[in-house]
Amino acid sequence: MREFTTPAPGVPEATGGLADSLYDTAERTPELVQVSRRTGDGRWRDVTAREFRNQVLALAKGLLTHGVRYGDRVALMSRTRYEWTLFDYALWSIGAITVPVYPTAAPEQVRWILAETQAVACLVEDEDAAMTVGAVCDALPDLTGIWQLDRDCVAAITEDGRDVPDSLVHRQRLGVGAQNVATVVYTSGTTGRPKGCLITHGNLASEADALLAGWGEVLRDTGGSQPGTLLFLPLAHVYGRAVQIAAVRGGFRIGHLPEVSTDALLPALESFRPTFLHAVPYVFEKIYQQARRAAEDAGRGELFEQARQVAVDWAAAREQKSFGRGPGPGAGLRLRHLAYERTVYPKLRAVLGGRVRSVMCGGSSLRRELGLFFTGAGLQLYEGYGLTETSAAITANPTARQKLGTVGQPVPGASVAIADDEEVWVRGASVFGGYLNHPQCTADSLVDGWFATGDLGRLDEDGYLTIIGRKKDLIVTSSGKNLAPAALEERVEAHPLVSQCLVVGDDRPYVAALITLDPAALAHWLKSHGREQLEAWAVLADEDLHGEIQRAVAAANTAVSRAESIRAFRLLPREFSQEQGLLTPSLKLRRAAVAEYYAEDIEELYRS
């Protein structure tokens, strides 16, 4: 088993509870802006560290009057918004445990999570969510309260705690140690029923402190302004929670955005003007595609393509130089890059608010070409890798030497190893303590401090990790050929028209694929090719469109052997969605569910 470890200089051992940092910051720098809240007119109102501490303390007192006690579990079923952070820290202030639930969860999923965790209360956003919880209440004997945000439950709970002494909260807070469970976060559930990961205060504090130790310097490099980030990642996902905690511990300004649609995200970025961002690859794909389509609509498509290629070449040359494998960008490339730096790249950065310097990307794989493009356009991009069980990132590209297309090296204090079957094993202070009520799964996954991730990967000569797929996703054709489909799918999805690709072929004579198209990109393609906006199936029958996708598949096939290549594909009339039960809340494909849903289409691929 090959192992790589990153030293942890400057990363203190986690002590106490997560809420302590909030109270400490309010004492040291009470006027520091901790959070900015969006008002009805789209502006942002600053909340200082003192104000935030006071609101958290007042809510914590109210929670005590509602019967929430040390060690109780409380579910948070909401989109990303200020009140989630408020409840997180208020509950941690009294030693309670938070249980994130995606607001899109089905009633059966809600029932399962609330029943298994024995949640005593549940925070929801609106009447629809309250009805979802209410519909399964009969199976939840421990649930004593449903709090609704759009009925101003924060003000009501706070008022109920007005007469509770502050000392009662502080006494409970000081009893929370790093070893205490802070949250039970359920896995995405791409296969089978999701499991609850027991994540401690120490796990999340260690994760946040490792990120601050490894990347804090570049995040604070803002030209003199306070670092700030717009948080649009779902706080029900461990990645969003880790960003929240790191921002609070680092003294960064946070804004919250409940929606990640382009129409909602871009105006919020323009008004908030973050200095760094954390996002999933999907966001950067959408921003890139929108910029490309806008350039083509304005008759500047060729200029955009030239600027894109220069950005990619410039970033790749700089990367090679950082590893001592090249001289860096030549004089001609530097001049072309400088020309586009004056004309094209600032417009792209302006889309993100104009002040973003650093971007950390995780949740799934980012195409190397896309990472090089954004980096070459002036947005330093750091790709990382982690799981719920590792409290978010366990690896990330270091600040001095990014190697885009990989997920980097272990974060400070962590280790990564590759087993004989190419499974990725990890260990470190952020690795969870086990699964709730699943001792055998815990014993199978945690061995001598190492966590077996279930992902397949490779470590290169510099200790950089590349994820190549999931063990459970391996396809074995009827001829005995093994294939990890993720890399092939990503190559097909690199085409602007393609939204999703699912490679199939288990026990089949050859590999095939189901492909969905991006609706906006398809509309743009039809317009630019003089086609009518037809019904979905009629559009998919267009020979030129089919030929365009065939070229994308052929380009992807050049990276694999003939036995591993896609020999047939089928275009589908709609994207895979959560509503169909085909995507997890974190937008990962539920492969078995897709295969079952489209069983007839898959059979059609193998009829000669």
Closest CA to 231 of 255, 253, 215: 255
Going from the C-alpha of 45 to that of each of 33, 39, 82, 355, the distances in angstroms are 10, 7, 12, 19
> H or E segment at 396?
strand 392-396
The whole-number pLDDT of residue 510 equals: 87
Question: Which H or E run includes 4?
Answer: strand 2-5
Return the beta strands (E) in 460-491 as ranges.
465-470, 475-476, 482-483
Whole-angstrom distance, CA of residue 365 vs CA of residue 497: 18
The CATH architecture assigned to 11-218 reads 3-Layer(aba) Sandwich (3.40)
366 beta partners: none
Look-up: residue for tokens 């009827």? 478
What 3-state DSSP class applies to 469?
Answer: strand
Q: How far is CA 525 from CA 333, 490, 551, in A?
A: 31, 21, 15
Tokens of 31: 């006027």
Taking the C-alpha atoms of residue 580 and residue 318, their distance in angstroms, rounded to an integer, is 44
Going from the C-alpha of 515 to that of each of 288, 501, 549, 559, 570, the distances in angstroms are: 20, 5, 9, 18, 6
Q: What is the pLDDT of residue 479?
A: 64
- Assigned token pair, 50: 């003192």
Q: Identify the pLDDT of residue 480.
A: 67
Cα distance between residue 353 and residue 281, in whole Å: 18
pTM here is 0.85
Q: What residue type is assigned to position 421 of the chain?
A: D
Token pair 């946040």 in the structure block, residue:
208
Q: Which residue, among 578, 606, 586, has the nearest Cα to 594 in the 3D structure? A: 578
Tell me how far CA of residue 377 lies from CA of 285, 382, 470, in angstroms: 15, 14, 32
Query: Which stretches of the chain score pLDDT less than 50?
Result: 190
Residue 284 and residue 281: Cα distance in Å, rounded?
Answer: 5
* Residue 236 near residue 102, CB atoms below 8 Å: yes
Q: Which residues belong to CATH 3.40.50.12780 in the chain? A: 11-218, 275-470
State the Cα–Cα distance between residues 74 and 91, nearest whole angstrom: 8
Residue 114, token pair as written in the block = 């609330």
Which two three-digit tokens encode residue 399? 């600040």
> According to CATH, what is the number of the domain 275-470?
3.40.50.12780
| Three-state SS at 44 | strand
Question: Each residue of 295-335: pLDDT tens digit?
Answer: 988 899 999 999 999 999 999 999 999 999 999 999 999 99
* CATH code for the domain defined by 474-605: 3.30.300.30
What are the CA-CA distances from residue 378 to residues 208, 241, 266, 312 (Å)?
Answer: 25, 27, 18, 11
- The C-alpha atoms of residue 349 and residue 371 are separated, in whole angstroms, by 14
d(CA 172, CA 336): 61
Contact 384, 361 (CB under 8 A): yes
Question: How many Cα atoms sit within 13 Å of 376 on the Cβ side?
Answer: 31
SS3 319: helix
pLDDT at 192: 58
User: What amino acid is encoded at 329 in this protein?
Assistant: P
What would the DSSP string read from start to end of 552-592? HHHHHHTTS-GGGSEEEEEE-SS---TTTT-B-TT--B-HH
